[in-house]
A and B are shown apart, each in its own frame.
Chain A
Amino acid sequence: MSSLRVLVGCKRVIDYAVKIRVNAAQTAVETAGVKHSMNPFDEIAVEEAVRLRERATKDSKLPKVDEIIAVSCGPTKAQETLRTALAMGADRAIHVEVDDKVALQPLAVAKLFQAVVQKENPNLVILGKQAIDDDAGQTGQMLAGLLNWPQTTFASEVGVAQDGAMQVSREIDGGLETLSTKVPAVVTTDLRLNEPRYASLPNIMKAKKKPLAKMTPEQLGVDITPRLETLKVIDPPKRQGGKKVESVDELIDKLKNEAGVL
Chain B
Amino acid sequence: MLSRQLLGSARNLTQRVSRHPVLFVTRNFASQNTPLDPTVGLTEEQVELQTMAQDFADNEMAPYMQEWDNKHHLPIDVLRKGAELGFGGLYVREEQGGTGLSRLDTSVIFEALATGCTSTTAYISIHNMCAWIIDQFGNNAQRQKYLSQLIPMDQLASYCLTEPGAGSDASSLTTTAVKKGDQYILNGTKAFISGGGNSDVYIIMARTGGPGPKGISCFIVEKDFPGISFGKQEDKLGWNSQPTASVILEDCEVPASNLVGKEGEGFKIAMKGLDGGRINIASCSLGAAQASLETTIDYVQVRKQFNHTLGEFQNTQFRLAEMATYLNSSRLMVRQAAQLLDGGSSLATSYCAMAKLYATDRCFNITNDCLQLHGGYGYLKDYKIQQFMRDSRVHQILEGTNEIMRVIVSRNLLKA
Residues of chain A at the chain B interface (Cβ within 8 Å): 15-20, 29, 33-35, 37, 40-41, 43-44, 80, 83-84, 87, 130, 132-135, 191, 195-196, 198-202, 204-205, 208
Contacts and interface: CB of A to CB of B under 8 A. Distances in A.
Interface string B3-46: 11001111101000000000000111100110000000000110
Contacts of B99: 201-202
Interface residues of B, number: 34
B48 interface: yes
Q: Which 6 pairs, one residue from A and one from B, show the smallest C-beta to C-beta distance?
A: A201-B86, A33-B33, A200-B85, A40-B10, A35-B29, A132-B4
Contacts of B86: 200-202
B49 to A, nearest CB: 6
Given A135-B2, A198-B56, A201-B52, A17 B9 contact: yes
Nearest to A35: B29
Interface in B85-135: 85-87, 90, 94, 99, 101, 109
B55 A130 contact: no
B1 interface: yes
Contact of B3 (A17, A44, A130): A130
A19 B1 CA distance: 11
B9 A16 contact: yes
B84 interface: yes
Contacts of B28: 17-19
A16 B85 contact: no
A35 B33 CA distance: 9
Contacts, number: 85
A200 B56 CA distance: 11
A185 B256 CA distance: 64
A204 B7 contact: no
A191 B13 contact: yes
A135 B9 contact: no
Contacts of A202: 86, 94, 99
A216 to B, nearest CB: 23
A11 to B, nearest CB: 13
Residue of B2, B3, B85, B109 with most chain A CB atoms under a 10 A cut-off: B3
A21 to B, nearest CB: 11
Contact of B45 (A16, A200, A205): A205
Given A33-B33, A191-B13, A202-B99, A20 B8 contact: no
Contact of B85 (A15, A84, A198): A198
Contacts of B58: 17
B11 A199 contact: no
Contacts of B27: 17
Nearest to A15: B29
B55 A20 contact: no
A84 to B, nearest CB: 8
A16 B29 CA distance: 10
Contacts of A18: 28-29
A16 B51 CA distance: 14
Contacts of B109: 201
A193 B372 CA distance: 45
Contact of B32 (A35, A84, A204): A35
B29 A204 contact: no
A202 B101 CA distance: 9
Contacts of B29: 15, 17-18, 34-35
Given A16-B4, A16-B8, A200-B85, 5 more contacts: A17-B27, A132-B3, A135-B1, A198-B55, A208-B45
Contact of A16 (B7, B56, B101): B7
